[in-house]
Every structure is written in C-alpha cells, then in structure tokens.
C-alpha cells in the first residue's frame, strides 16, 4: 500500500492546556484498544494535565489540522544510570482512527526523535501491545528494536500527589 503524503495543513506543535479535552479523548480511545488498561476519563485527564503543567516532566506534541487535534505523542523525561543521562519514555502515540494509514503516525515519531536528538536525550523507550503485530511493525519500520528487557508492573493505590 502506498501512502499519500500528509495534507499540507497538518502541523505538529506542543500541546497546551486548551487541548486537554481532545487529548483526553485520544488517550481514552487508545486505552480502550489495549488489554492492560481500562479507560478512566478522570485519570487520563489528570495524567495529561500533570505533564502539561510541568514541562520538566515531559512534552506532549499535538498533531493538528487547522480545526482539529487528530493525534499526539507523549514524551516523559527521566534519568538512566545505564545511559548516564536523560532518556525518554514515549507513551500514547495516537492518531485518530479516521486519520490512520496516511503517514501521520510516522510524522509524530519523526518529530519525537528529532526533539530527543536536539535536546541530547540518550534513548527513547516505548511499550507497545504484545498482541499487536501491526503496532510492532510500525515501530520497527521507524527504527525501534526489541529489547531483551521484559516490562513488569506493580500498580499502587490511587493517589493524586505527583
């Protein structure tokens, strides 16, 4: 399948608090597709807001047309002792279902990678669904490789403190 180039009125820019409702809608849709999560609008909105209010925690980049937010990528900042510097945990790479297959996801990834390079981050790590071969192929096509690490999780009780 040949992808047509993205429309010229599409742009990627830092998300703002004004984008919160649309960003939350996108994350809700993504989590609805994943086996490990149950969408919860209050939690998703809070998580997005925590990032938007404190840019030292990370960045959310919005993919938008002149009128609508159609995608996003969420980059969280942390430090790796293995890398000896700052690294990114990339989450929530989302393109609205009506706009998939047009190269927009690749645009978001390229933007995130360029941002990371420009800011001298050492690594970008992401989690993708184990059962989604399509998602894995997408990230591999964009330069990501499998790690020998296995993700594990301990969910702690709900808290609103960050």
62 vs 130: CA distance, rounded Å: 26
Residue of 53, 119, 126 whose CA lies nearest to 86? 119
What is the per-residue pLDDT for 57? 96
Backbone angles phi, psi at 72, to 5 degrees: -160, 160
Closest CA relative to residue 116, chosen from 96, 98, 143, 141: 143
The reported pLDDT for the residue numbered 2 is: 41
Average pLDDT over residues 68-87: 96
* List of domains in the chain: 12-141 (3.40.630.30)
Confidence (pTM):
0.86
Residue 153, C-beta contacts closer than 8 angstroms, at least 6 positions apart: none
pLDDT, the chain, mean:
88
Instruction: Convert 96-124 to b/e letters by CB count within 10 Å (16 or more is b).
Output: beebeebbbbebbbebbbebbeeeebeeb
Distance CA 161, CA 158 (A): 9
Tens digit of each residue's pLDDT (9 = 90 or more) over 107-136: 999 999 999 999 999 999 998 777 678 888
pLDDT, one tens digit per residue, over 78-100 is 999 999 999 999 998 999 989 98
> What SS3 class is residue 44?
helix
pLDDT tier for residue 1 given thresholds of 50, 70 and 90:
very low
What is the C-alpha radius of gyration for the chain, rounded to an integer number of angstroms? 16
Q: How would you classify the pairing of strands 85-95 and 124-126? A: parallel
């Amino acid at each position: 399948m040949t992808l047509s180039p993205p429309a010229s009125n599409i742009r990627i820019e830092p998300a703002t608090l004004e984008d919160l409702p649309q960003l939350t809608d996108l994350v809700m849709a993504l989590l609805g597709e994943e086996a490990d999560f149950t969408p919860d609008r209050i939690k998703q909105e809070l998580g997005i807001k925590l990032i938007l209010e404190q840019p030292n925690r990370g960045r959310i980049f919005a993919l938008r047309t002149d009128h609508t937010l159609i995608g996003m990528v969420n980059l969280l900042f942390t430090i790796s002792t293995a890398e000896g510097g700052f690294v990114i945990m990339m989450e929530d790479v989302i393109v609205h279902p009506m706009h998939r297959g047009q190269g927009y996801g690749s645009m978001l990834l390229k933007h995130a990678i360029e941002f990371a390079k420009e800011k001298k981050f050492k690594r970008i790590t992401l989690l993708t669904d184990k059962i989604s071969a399509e998602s894995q192929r997408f990230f591999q096509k964009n330069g990501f490789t499998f790690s020998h690490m296995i993700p594990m999780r301990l969910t702690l009780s709900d808290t609103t403190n960050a």
